[in-house]
Structure 1
Amino acid sequence: MKANIRDFQMVERADLEIEGITLVAGRNSQGKSSIAKGLAAALTGTVQLGGLLKKDGGKLVRAGCSTAYAVVQSESGKATASWPKCEFITDGTPPAVNAHAAGLEHLVDMAPKDRATFLAKALHTAPDKDDLSQAFTDAGIPAPVVEKVWSDIEATGWDGKAADVKEKGARFKGRWEGVTGEKYGSEKAKGWLPKDWTADLTEAELDDLSSEVGEAQIDLEKAIAGAAVDQSEIDRLTAACADIESLHKASMDAEVAASQAEAAYKTAKRELDDLPPAQQPDALACPCCKAALQVNGHGPTMELVQAATLSDAELKKRQTAINIAAGNASHAKKQLDAADQTAADAQRAHQTAHDASQRLAALKAKGGTGSTADVQAARDRLALAQRRHAALKANLEAHELSKQLAVNAMVQTLLSPEGLRKTKLLKVLDTFNGGPLAELCAAAGWQPVRIEPDLSVTYGGRAYPLLSGLGPQLSSDQFRVRAVLQVALAQMEGHRLVIIDAADVLDHLGRGGLIQMLRAADVSAVVCMTFGKPDLVPDLQAAGMGMSYWIDGGIARPLAEVKAAKQEAA
Structure 2
Amino acid sequence: MELQVKNFRGISSAVLPLDKTTLVAGQNGAGKTSLAMALAAASSGHASPWANVSVRDAKSGLLRKGASRGSVTIMDGHSHITVNYPGGSVSGEMKVGAVSAVAAGIISPADMKSNDLTRLLYDYLDATPNKEHLSEEIGAQAAEQVWPVIESDGWDAAYKRARESGTKLKGQWEGLTGEAYGSAKAQAWQPQGAESYSLQHTSDEMQAAVNASAENLNAMRNQNAVILSQQEQLQQQIIRAEAAQKYLADNGIDPNNPPDPEAETNAIRISIQRADLEKLADELPALELKKVELTQQTADAYKAIEAARQKHDALPKPDVAVITAPCPSCGTHLVVVSKQELQIPATEQLSTEQREQMTSAIREADAELQRAESIHATLSQQLATIAGQHARASEAADQLAGMPDVAASGDENRIAVLSRVARAIQTIEHGNAARQQLEQMQASGIDQEAINHAEMELNAANAALHIRQLIDQASGISKRITQNIAITTALSSGVDGLRGKRMAQQLSQLNESLAHISASAGWKTVFISDNIAIQYGDAEYGWQLSESEKFRCRVILQAALADLDCSPVMVVDAADILDKKGRNGLIGMAKKLGRPIIIMMTINEKKDVPNLAPLGMASFWINESGEVEPV
Normalising by the smaller structure, the TM-score range is 0.5 to 0.7
Distance 2:521 2:151 in 1: 39
Q: Structure 2 residue aligned with 1:484, among 528, 544, 556? A: 556
The percentage of counterpart residues that share the same residue type is 27
Q: Alpha carbons of 1:170 and 1:128: their partners in 2 closer, same or farther (altered >3 Å)?
A: closer
CA distance in 1, matches of 2:109, 2:188: 48
Partner of 1:299: none
Give the alignment partner of residue 569 of structure 2, picking from 497, 519, 540: 497
Residue among 82, 90, 93 paired with 1:91: 93
Task: Measure the CA separation in 2 of the matches of 1:462 and 1:159.
Answer: 38
Q: Retained in 2: the 8 A contact 1:77–1:94?
A: no
| Structure 1 residue 392 displacement after superposition | 0.8
The residue type paired with residue 472 of structure 2 is L
Give 1:215 deviation, angstroms.
4.8
How far apart, CA to CA, are the structure 2 residues paired with 1:45 and 1:373? 97
Q: Distance in 2 between matches of 1:517 and 1:399?
A: 60
d(CA) in 1 for partners of 2:625 and 2:198? 90
Question: 1:11 — aligned with what?
Answer: 11
SS at match of 2:191: coil
Summarize the Cα distance change of 1:455–1:77 in structure 2 as closer, same or farther, 3 Å threshold. farther
The one-character-per-residue Cα deviations of 1:322-346 (angstroms, maximum 9, x if unpaired) are xxxxxxxxxxxxxxxxxxxxxxxxx
Q: Secondary structure at the match of 2:93?
A: strand
Matches within 5 A, 1:222-371: 226=225
Mean Cα deviation higher: 207-216 or 525-534? 207-216
Larger Rg: 2
Matching residue's letter, 1:200: Y
Q: Which residue of 1 aligns with 2:524?
A: 447
1:215-247 Cα distance to aligned partner (Å, 9 max, x none): 554537965985999xxxxxxxxxxxxxxxxxx
Return the letter of the residue paired with 1:496: P
Contact 1:19 1:547 in 2 (8 A): no
Larger CA deviation: 480-489 vs 513-522: 513-522
Selected match of 2:82 from 69, 80, 83: 80
Cα distance change of structure 1 residues 91 and 53 upon mapping to structure 2, 3 Å threshold? closer
| CA distance 1:178–1:375, change in 2 (3 Å) | farther
1:7/1:86 CA distance change after superposition, 3 Å: same
CA distance in 2, matches of 1:151, 1:407: 12
1:375-390 to structure 2, matched below 5 A, reads: 385-390=461-466
Q: Does 1:458 align with 2:553?
A: no
Residue aligning to 1:24: 24
* Equivalent runs, 1:174-253 vs 2, <5 Å: 174=168, 178=172, 181=176, 184-195=181-192, 197-215=194-212, 217-218=214-215, 219=217, 226=225
Give 2:605's aligned residue.
533
Which residue of structure 2 aligns with residue 438 of structure 1? 515
Residue 517 to residue 466, structure 1, CA distance change in 2 (3 Å): same
- Structure 1 residue 78: deviation in Å? 3.4
Deviation of 1:50 after TM superposition, in Å, equals 7.6
Partner of 2:64: 62
Quick check: 1:437–1:450 contact (8 Å CA) kept in 2? yes
Q: CA RMSD of the aligned region, Å?
A: 4.9
Equivalence for 1:254: none
Cα separation, partners in 2 of 1:387 and 1:165, compared to 1, 3 Å: farther
Q: Does the residue aligned with 1:181 lie in a helix, a strand or coil?
A: helix
Do 1:31 and 1:554's aligned partners in 2 also have CA atoms closer than 8 Å? no
Q: How many angstroms does 1:461 deviate by?
A: 1.3
1:27 Cα shift? 0.9
Gaps of 5+ in 1: 230-361, 470-474, 561-570
1:392 aligns with 2:468: yes
- Counterpart of 2:529, as a letter, is E
By how many angstroms is 1:30 displaced?
A: 1.4
Aligned pair 1:104/2:99, yes or no? no
Q: Which amino acid aligns with 1:49?
A: W
Q: Hey, what's the Cα distance between the residues in 1 that align with 2:142 and 2:32?
A: 54
Quote the Cα distance in structure 2 between the aligned partners of 1:158 and 1:498. 37
Q: Aligned equivalents of 2:82 and 2:218: distance in 1?
A: 92
Kept after mapping to 2: 8 A contact 1:196/1:387: no
Taking a change above 3 Å as real, the CA distance of residues 515 and 127 of structure 1, as seen in their structure-2 partners, is same
1:146-193 per-position Cα deviation (integer Å, ceiling 9, x unaligned): 699699989988997998798678668756754762565434422322
Q: CA deviation at 1:487?
A: 1.2
**Cα separation, 2, equivalents of 1:173 and 1:222:** 49
**TM-score of the two chains, using structure 2 as the length reference:** 0.54
Deviations 1:397-436 (A, max 9, x none): 4324434543553465456553455446545645654x54
Q: How many pairs are equivalent?
A: 414
Secondary structure of the residue aligned to 2:524 is coil
Q: Deviations over 1:1-55 (max 9, x none)?
A: 2212222222222222222112111111111111111112222345152844543
Instruction: Output the CA distance in 2 between the equivalents of 1:520 and 1:73.
Output: 25
Deviation at 1:86, TM superposition (A): 4.5
**1:523 Cα shift?**
0.8
Check conservation: 1:19, 1:546, Cα contact below 8 A.
no
- Distance in 2 between the 1:462 and 1:95 partners? 35
Contact 1:443 1:516 in 2 (8 A): yes
Answer whether contact 2:166 2:485 (CA < 8 A) is retained: no
**Partner SS state of residue 49, structure 1:** coil
Counterpart position of 2:431: none
| 512-521 vs 84-93, which moves further | 84-93
Change (3 A) 1:210 1:148: closer
Q: Is the 8 A contact 2:15 2:628 kept in 1?
A: yes
Instruction: Write the mapping of 1:407-422 to structure 2, written as runs, cut at 5 A.
Output: 407=483, 409-410=485-486, 413=489, 418=495, 419=497, 422=500
> Which whole-Å CA distance do the structure 1 matches of 2:29 and 2:43 have between them?
23
Which residue does 1:556 correspond to in 2? 627
Q: 1:462 deviation in Å?
A: 1.3
Cα drift, residue 67 of structure 1: 3.8
Q: 2:616 is matched with which residue?
A: 545
TM-score by length of 1: 0.59
| Counterpart residue type for residue 42 of structure 1 | A
